A and B are shown apart, each in its own frame.
Chain A
Amino acid sequence: MMKASVKDRVALIVGATDEIGEAVARRLAAQGARLALCDRGGERLQALTEEITKGGGVAAAFDVNPCDPDTIVSGVGRVLAHYGTIGILVNKALEPEDGVLGALAPEDFHAGISGALGSAFHFLRTVVPAMQENSYGRVVNISSLAYLGLPGKAGVAMAQGGLFGLTRSIALEAARHNVTVNGIVKGDIRTAALDQEECDRLANGVPVKRLGAPADVANAVGFFASDSAKYITGQTFFVCGGKSAYFSMSI
């Protein structure tokens, strides 16, 4: 099938320096998007930028701290100066350090909220007006299944739970400007951090009996970021092998 096209759109990707962010970057680049990779600068970000440009794609790295509103504003300004426009924004929510309630410190509240929710809020606040002026935008907020609530995951649930309402509110505000805002919620994804025993244990709890791959998340992002999804907005869509069906509040 012809994959949904994002040809020539400028895609600002937050947090491309992990396996999922990298998969999203590769997928959007392969479909013809021009990338603005925003994260704390470093070798991994540079390596990804070079990989994409050497492969014939268009990508530039922008040193931005996703938890700092000031660097977000200046970073977005640099992206707009470089490319002239932003058509796609992918917010990948940071996962805070987490634990059971008794183990959470008061400062964990602020750290969790600013990393996951604050980052998305500041990027939306800075990018969406430019998209509205241009009458085009596709925003995808990536979060995790734990936002529905799991023991030991109150930090993630609190912070990423806020993304649910933020996605819907901004979707309704921006709808008439041809700007869509959707959330992709990832389930259990195989990454290098998980050993085989952990993978097997988690896979058993997934209805399709396997873990997802970063490419599974990237494929979904690619759809929602494209014109094939122009009539879809405000949605919270799970890439989870069916695990979300074990939760109420997943529809």
Chain B
Amino acid sequence: MGMENKVALITGSASGMGRQTAQRMAEAGAAVVINDIDPEKVQSTVGYFRKQGWRALGVVADVSSRDAVVEMVQAAVAEFGRVDILVNNAGLERAGPLRKLTEADWDLTVDVNLKGAFLCAQAVHGLMVENKHGRIINIASRAWLGGPGQTPYSSAKAGVVGLTRALALELGKSGITSNCIAPGLIHTPMWDELPEKDKTYLLSKQPIGKLGEVDDIANAVLFLADPDAGFINGQVLYVCGGRSLFAG
């Protein structure tokens, strides 16, 4: 079994895709580090995981802060001894027409989505090099291809793709693979809150005619994180029901 006794740090894992990914990894035998900026969500997620008999550690940390990221990795090592898998999933979006966006919108979006991924990769890679094994999986987005009203988010997620390729080329020789997943429309609480007419429109644009589920992302992460995936490196895996093929 590939995941048994692996240690996975998943940022933004107290809800949504991150939480489902952590759960699938825990079910497969990995120890997981649950991270979010919301202490209550972290606590309730860790509580649930431990009740299932899974090994879980909760760390509240803002991934855009270098000090917080370094402390988070130290806590992971103190608890589990190492980090084998990093899933850079923490992300947010500040959307809007170009004329309305503020510098703060840009900074926040880039800091959490891109800088956070860089800081976490930097903080764990030394451990992975020492162990001659690692999996870095960045959650980008289909939006990196560009979307109207998404200038900060598209830019940050495009940065995640570039980061992934650079990491792949730099760290590949040390037994570390770096890949990213570009999710399209996924069923999350945010989707449930959309007006019906928006949902109808977006679904009509999906080649597959349906939404993705958080499990589709979790399955893709597990595929890339597996020890048998050592020859997969530098890839962008779109999990989007075909929307990345044509978004017009």
Distance A242 CA – B168 CA, assembled complex (angstroms): 6
**Nearest-neighbor residue (CB-CB) of B1 within chain A:** A1
B235 cross-chain contacts in A, Cβ below 8 A: 237-238, 244
Q: Which of A44-52, A151-159, A192-200, A212-220 is found at the contact surface with chain B?
A: A212-220
Chain A 200-251 interface residues, beta-carbon cutoff 8 Å to B = 206-210, 212-213, 215-216, 219-220, 223, 228-235, 237-242, 244-246, 251
Whether the Cβ atoms of B233 and A233 lie closer than 8 Å is no
Whether the Cβ atoms of B208 and A209 lie closer than 8 Å is no
Known contacts A232-B220, A232-B237, A209 near B229 by CB under 8 Å? no
Whether the Cβ atoms of B1 and A239 lie closer than 8 Å is no
Whether the Cβ atoms of B169 and A212 lie closer than 8 Å is no
Known contacts A4-B223, A175-B208, A231-B208, A242 near B229 by CB under 8 Å? no
Question: Which of A228, A233, A234 has a CB less than 8 Å from the CB of B219?
Answer: A228
Whether the Cβ atoms of B233 and A172 lie closer than 8 Å is no
B228 interface residue per 8 A CB criterion: yes
Q: For residue A224, give the distance in angstroms from its CB to the closest CB of chain B.
A: 9
Whether the Cβ atoms of B219 and A207 lie closer than 8 Å is no
B244 cross-chain contacts in A, Cβ below 8 A: 234-235
Chain B 158-172 interface residues, beta-carbon cutoff 8 Å to A = 161, 165, 168-169, 172
A75 cross-chain contacts in B, Cβ below 8 A: none
Q: For residue B72, give the distance in angstroms from its CB to the closest CB of chain A.
A: 25
Q: For residue B240, give the distance in angstroms from its CB to the closest CB of chain A.
A: 7
Whether the Cβ atoms of A233 and B172 lie closer than 8 Å is no
Whether the Cβ atoms of B216 and A230 lie closer than 8 Å is yes
Question: How does the 8 Å CB contact mask read for A174-190 relative to B, with 1 for contact and 0 for none?
Answer: 01101000000001000
Whether the Cβ atoms of A232 and B169 lie closer than 8 Å is no
B246 interface residue per 8 A CB criterion: yes
Question: How does the 8 Å CB contact mask read for B209-248 relative to A, with 1 for contact and 0 for none?
Answer: 1001100100110110010111111111111111011100
Interface size on B, as a range, is 35 or more
Chain B 1-30 interface residues, beta-carbon cutoff 8 Å to A = 1-3, 28
Whether the Cβ atoms of B226 and A172 lie closer than 8 Å is no
Q: For residue B237, give the distance in angstroms from its CB to the closest CB of chain A.
A: 6
B173 interface residue per 8 A CB criterion: yes
Whether the Cβ atoms of B241 and A240 lie closer than 8 Å is no
Question: Which of A1, A213, A232 has a CB less than 8 Å from the CB of B2?
Answer: A1
Whether the Cβ atoms of B173 and A219 lie closer than 8 Å is no
Q: For residue B100, give the distance in angstroms from its CB to the closest CB of chain A.
A: 30
Whether the Cβ atoms of A216 and B230 lie closer than 8 Å is yes
Whether the Cβ atoms of B232 and A239 lie closer than 8 Å is yes
**Nearest-neighbor residue (CB-CB) of B25 within chain A:** A1
Known contacts A208-B233, A231-B213, A232-B220, A241 near B245 by CB under 8 Å? no
Whether the Cβ atoms of A208 and B212 lie closer than 8 Å is no
Whether the Cβ atoms of B245 and A212 lie closer than 8 Å is no
Interface size on A, as a range, is 35 or more
**Nearest-neighbor residue (CB-CB) of B176 within chain A:** A208
Distance A213 CA – B63 CA, assembled complex (angstroms): 37
Distance A82 CA – B26 CA, assembled complex (angstroms): 41
A240 cross-chain contacts in B, Cβ below 8 A: 231, 233-234
Whether the Cβ atoms of A232 and B233 lie closer than 8 Å is no
Known contacts A207-B172, A208-B173, A244-B235, A176 near B212 by CB under 8 Å? no
Known contacts A232-B238, A238-B235, A240-B231, A209 near B219 by CB under 8 Å? no
Question: Which of B28, B161, B216, B228 has a CB less than 8 Å from the CB of A251?
Answer: B161
A2 interface residue per 8 A CB criterion: yes
A122 interface residue per 8 A CB criterion: no
Whether the Cβ atoms of B207 and A233 lie closer than 8 Å is yes
Whether the Cβ atoms of A207 and B234 lie closer than 8 Å is yes
Known contacts A168-B245, A176-B207, A239 near B231 by CB under 8 Å? yes
Question: Measuring CB to CB, which residues of chain B are less than 8 angstroms from any residue of chain A?
Answer: 1-3, 28, 161, 165, 168-169, 172-173, 175, 177, 184, 207-209, 212-213, 216, 219-220, 222-223, 226, 228-242, 244-246
Question: Measuring CB to CB, which residues of chain A are less than 8 angstroms from any residue of chain B?
Answer: 1-2, 4, 168, 171-172, 175-176, 178, 187, 206-210, 212-213, 215-216, 219-220, 223, 228-235, 237-242, 244-246, 251
The 9 closest A-B pairs by CB, nearest first: A207-B172, A242-B233, A175-B207, A245-B234, A216-B231, A231-B216, A228-B219, A242-B234, A212-B231
Beyond the given pairs A4-B219, A237-B235, 14 more chain A to chain B contacts, judged by CB atoms under 8 angstroms and listed by A's residue number, are A1-B3, A2-B28, A172-B246, A175-B242, A206-B172, A207-B172, A208-B173, A209-B172, A215-B228, A219-B229, A231-B213, A232-B216, A233-B241, A242-B234
